[in-house]
Amino acid sequence: MKRVHLWFVAGLSALLTCAPAQIIYSFESEDLHGYADDNAPGFLEVFQATTGVTHGNYSMGVRWPGGFRWLLGNGVRDETLPYLRISRKLLLDITVPAGREVEWANMIVAFNGPPGYGWNQNSIPVGLPRVAGTRTILLDLESLPLPAPDVEWFQLNLGINAGSAHEIYLDSLRLYRPACEMVAFTFDSDLQGFNIGDQSEISLEWFNGKMRVSKEGGFRWLFGGTAPGLAAMVRRGDLVVFDVTVVASASQWANAMVAISSPAGWGQSDYVAEIPTVVGTTRTVALDYRGVALPDSDNPEYCTLNIAFNSQGYLVLDVDNIRIYRRAVEGDVNCDGCVNDSDLLAVLFEFGNTAITPADVNSDGVVNDSDLLTVLFNFGSGC
């Protein structure tokens, strides 16, 4: 085992405060955090399942004949609100079983509480997976206000919508971790290789430290984005994440997808993320690219990022801060991709803590022997 460097302890507290990581819902209880009460056969079926499990032993299965349905939470404040006060960016794993593909599907989120706070709904939907497989979606809820910490009750409600009969399995609703980001494109001085090729009805320009995309309705690609270490990043990640601001719009809807090009081929993802169309809106968007062709080394002949935008009408977007979200390595407390001395010290430093902390590796509510053993058993992984 590597020697534990005691000089790391001095900076440990700051590291932990910038890397919150906790699972909010794992659907291990039969009531499914209140969502089971929405079960209404023929209209909306909600059930505990073992399909699509990404944490613990169970997931939440949802089956409905298409259209819009609400899943209403149990209103237990302390199951959700303390986490949301750390971050209103959440990740959620969604699995679509084989044979249940749909043309489109999406989700919105609403917070609900007593009079004086009331119903607060995110009007911008998030794309749900349309084809078979497991994908992670990002819920950017920063536009929704939170109630006082001592509010009597608080609900987290999920609105699901699909163009036809659909079936999904949800698991591991958790905090998004900025510590897991690998920054690839910041557009400090240029477009970093992004171009439109020979396409028409789309233009691209560098504007005030961002990439400005102006397009008519329809589907268009941005090709050729390059950044130092991009191949190494995409080989260690699952999500392409970026911030998008709507500058001008005559479109009722818009979405995006991603492809990674390398000697391994054109690796185009089948996940489609919805993006905002209301002028002045800024949101963080995540595109899951699991399963695509990736370079077989960290230093291939070439590796480029390509992003497609589709819209119903004219749209101008500012894109900024494209990063790759690192794939989880068990026991990696600080999410640097390597289980080492710093992770071991993090658990020791927080031992006995019952607060929301990444040192609670197994997300059971306390930093204890189980977390320490997880780090020790995985020591050296990812390094």
Q: Please state the domain extents for the chain.
A: 6-16+333-377, 20-176, 180-326
CB atoms within 10 A of CB 146: 16
| pLDDT confidence bin for 136, thresholds 50/70/90 | very high
Residue 137's region, left for phi above 0, alpha for psi from -120 to 50, else beta, is: beta
* pLDDT tens string 345-379: 999 999 999 999 999 998 888 999 999 999 999 99
* pLDDT tens string 152-184: 999 999 999 999 999 999 999 999 999 999 999
d(CA 42, CA 247): 43
The reported pLDDT for the residue numbered 1 is 35
CATH number for the domain whose boundaries are 6-16+333-377:
1.10.1330
Distances, alpha carbon 107 to alpha carbons 127, 128, 331, 349, in Å: 6, 7, 31, 39
Intrachain domains 20-176 and 180-326 with the same fold: yes
In this structure, which amino acid lies at residue 266?
A: W
pLDDT average, residue stretch 285-297: 97
The reported pLDDT for the residue numbered 15 is 37
pLDDT average, residue stretch 74-95: 96
The reported pLDDT for the residue numbered 28 is 95
Asked if pLDDT for residue 4 goes beyond 80, the answer is no
In this structure, which amino acid lies at residue 234?
A: V
Asked if pLDDT for residue 9 goes beyond 90, the answer is no
d(CA 291, CA 101): 17
d(CA 95, CA 137): 11
Asked if 22 contacts 175 with a C-beta cutoff of 8 angstroms, the reply is yes
Angle formed at CA 273 by CA 269 and CA 277, multiple of 5 degrees: 145
Architecture of domain 20-176 in CATH? Sandwich (2.60)
pLDDT average, residue stretch 305-316: 98
| pLDDT confidence bin for 20, thresholds 50/70/90 | very low
The reported pLDDT for the residue numbered 59 is 98
Residue 372 has phi, psi (to 5 degrees) of -60, -45
d(CA 183, CA 242): 10
Angle formed at CA 134 by CA 63 and CA 79, multiple of 5 degrees: 70
Asked if pLDDT for residue 18 goes beyond 80, the answer is no
HSE (side-chain half, CA atoms, 13 Å) at 289: 31
Angle formed at CA 370 by CA 365 and CA 373, multiple of 5 degrees: 145
Asked if pLDDT for residue 5 goes beyond 60, the answer is no
Q: For tokens 């303390």, what's the residue? A: 82
Asked if pLDDT for residue 11 goes beyond 90, the answer is no
Asked if pLDDT for residue 8 goes beyond 70, the answer is no
- Sign (positive or negative) of CA dihedral 47, 50, 56, 60: negative
d(CA 25, CA 79): 8
Q: What is the residue-averaged pLDDT of the chain?
A: 93
The reported pLDDT for the residue numbered 13 is 39
Asked if pLDDT for residue 275 goes beyond 90, the answer is yes
Asked if pLDDT for residue 114 goes beyond 70, the answer is yes
- CATH of region 180-326, choose from 2.60.120.260, 2.160.10.10, 2.60.40.10, 3.30.70.20: 2.60.120.260
The reported pLDDT for the residue numbered 363 is 87
d(CA 298, CA 291): 18
Q: Exposed (0-12), middle (13-18) or buried (19+): which is 352, by Cβ within 10 Å? A: exposed
d(CA 140, CA 90): 7
Tokens found for residue 30: 């039969």
| pLDDT confidence bin for 22, thresholds 50/70/90 | confident
Question: Long-range CB contacts (< 8 A, 24+ apart) of 77-84?
Answer: 77/151, 77/152, 77/153, 77/154, 79/24, 79/25, 79/33, 80/24, 80/154, 80/156, 81/146, 81/147, 81/149, 81/151, 81/154, 82/149, 82/356, 83/22, 83/24, 83/175, 83/356, 84/141, 84/146, 84/156
| pLDDT confidence bin for 338, thresholds 50/70/90 | very high
The reported pLDDT for the residue numbered 370 is 93
Asked if pLDDT for residue 80 goes beyond 60, the answer is yes
The reported pLDDT for the residue numbered 365 is 87
| pLDDT confidence bin for 294, thresholds 50/70/90 | very high
